[in-house]
Amino acid sequence: MAVSTLIERVAEHVQNGDQSADEHRQRVRTALHHIHLPKLDACGMIVHDTETDQVRNVTGEPSQELLTAIESYVARE
């Protein structure tokens, strides 16, 4: 999946508070890029190819579980 697609999907599933849609997507993009994708890649749940900006789930679990995990983390921020 393209990271841009992942950003859109995560942004749809997390609350944006008082932010505009663009600000919300930017916040999600920043959190994914600097926090979530590196951690998920490091623990072996995903492979993030930074050259192609693609993410691949390698755990065999449905992608919804990944979105749920990210959503719960972002909701606590």
State how far the Cα of 63 lies from the Cα of 10, in Å rounded to an integer: 11
Q: Which of 42, 76, 38, 75 is nearest to 3 (CA)?
A: 38
Token reading at 51: 């050259």
**pLDDT tens digits, one per residue of 29-63:** 999 999 999 999 998 888 999 999 999 988 765 56
State how far the Cα of 23 lies from the Cα of 25, in Å rounded to an integer: 6
One-letter amino acid at 69 equals A
Query: What percentage of the chain exceeds 70 in pLDDT?
Result: 82
Higher pLDDT residue, 72 or 40? 40
Cβ contacts of 63 within 8 Å, gap of 6 or more: 1, 57
**Is residue 69 very low, low, confident or very high in pLDDT (cuts 50, 70, 90)?**
confident
Show me where the domains of the chain are located.
Answer: 3-76
Mean residue pLDDT across the chain: 84
